[in-house]
Chains A and B, each alone.
Chain A
């Protein structure tokens, strides 16, 4: 009875009623949205709200302080370099794991994911010890006059460690699916192996390499546990990373600075996520066309 008095709009909805054959839409939608909001979105929104309460002038003065600026630069430049190095080694590793057969391949493949499974703090202290002057690598390198621990080189080493699986795991499936026809065709047409690689295979792998690069870069910028021990966190040597500065502000209960820096970091990681998503969307559009 009530239904008849309802507006036409609702009737319209009833004619389209339930496009979902499988039950459980409303229930799962409710659970997912509620949990997502409670655990992820509301806490992040609090950071946003809190940072918007800071006046723009104050905001810029907070994030433009020398040590904050240096920390941003350190985090971004070191993560970028580490991600570039990881793209090179990641490609080699993925190539070896897909194209060649050799004893011990499975073990090698298993080890790639170690940085995902090993807690970051453990990775941090062991790398720091290993590259310090009393450590195995540190002693050897010190003889050549290279200091790794407590410098930016150490920072990059730690970031290579945490970033390598991202690149390998992004490239590996694409390389596996890649049709060997192109390679063979290029070879038949007389291209040298080098030329085949650089003008046939590499362009095909570019989206995957960019995805891996983006993920490793994003992870590196936010990295905390694995870098804070090896970097030495010296403001003078500019080896403080941005996460460390946030943590420092938190322990001084300087919440305004912490949220302002966090907002900038959120924007950076959002942009990187966007970049990765665009690359992936293009890639899937291309593979669907083929």
Chain B
């Protein structure tokens, strides 16, 4: 047996060893916990499952979650497109600082987000007198903290950079020659956006929206600090927390049943993400050819 053969054999052994380690790691750390949610959810049978996911509390939580997610996606898509346009089509002083500031929500603990909204809009916050004056003036009863608007705002905060973060690299890679040419030929800003930029960044945009949706659906820490009324301002993760924390066997099973809704959504999101990514890669290789 010559040296080459020994080397080849060693390499093959490393390969199988590493693949085994990876598969084991993913299975034990990620797949089993995911499966465990579903197993636990159905541990009391289908009838219990259906009952658990259709209670008044769950329906209300589902509504608040969807409302917050939809609003967060709309606001952040608008913001993300504006920010990406600004950061990729122009160069100006302080651009790097602005880009860093936009990324802040990525690195902040969700609990601090909740705290900062309490400090701003809560009873001790500096914005509270403004809301009170407004309410007295117009006879309205607008509340931000411990109410649905606070939940929506916190969700927007934690997902703030998701869309712009996906769009910036895509637009940077495309360059701005086409837009400049169009502008010099007299096209208006909106026309340029619609006819040139939007088609270029379409997949990046969808991808950003998917990530934003995933994060918005599952936000827990920030919302937890701002929402106290079960059945009114609770989102699905908060409802899961409430069920799990009540500690009886049936309520824990119910918590897993409600979790399974979010797990199914998470799996759909992962699928969509992967399909998009492979579509992207397939297109790239075609371009190279």
Contact = CB atoms under 8 A, between A and B. Distances in A.
Interface of A: 20-25, 27-29, 31-33, 35-36, 39-44, 46-47, 49-50, 89, 92-93, 95-97, 100, 102, 104, 106, 108-123, 125-127, 129-130, 135-137, 160-161, 164, 193, 218, 221-225, 229, 242-243, 246-247, 250, 255, 258-259, 262, 265-266, 269-270, 272-273, 277
B59 interface: no
B250 interface: no
Nearest to B222: A224
Given A114-B266, A122-B259, A96 B176 contact: no
Q: Is the interface of A mostly helix, strand, loop or mixed?
A: helix
20 contacts: A24-B85, A24-B193, A31-B78, A46-B120, A100-B18, A117-B267, A119-B219, A119-B220, A119-B262, A120-B237, A121-B238, A121-B240, A126-B259, A129-B256, A136-B32, A229-B244, A243-B109, A250-B225, A269-B107, A273-B103
B36 interface: yes
Contacts, number: 268
Contact of A117 (B90, B114, B176, B270): B270
A212 to B, nearest CB: 14
A221 B109 contact: yes
Given A126-B256, A129-B40, A32 B83 contact: yes
B172 interface: no
A130 B36 contact: yes
Interface of B: 7, 10-11, 14-15, 18-19, 21-23, 25-26, 28-34, 36-37, 40, 75, 78-79, 82-83, 85-86, 89-90, 92, 98, 100-105, 107-120, 124-126, 153, 156-157, 160, 176, 179-180, 183-184, 188-189, 192-193, 211, 214-215, 217-221, 224-225, 236-238, 240-241, 244, 252, 255-256, 259, 262-263, 266-267, 269-271, 273-274, 278
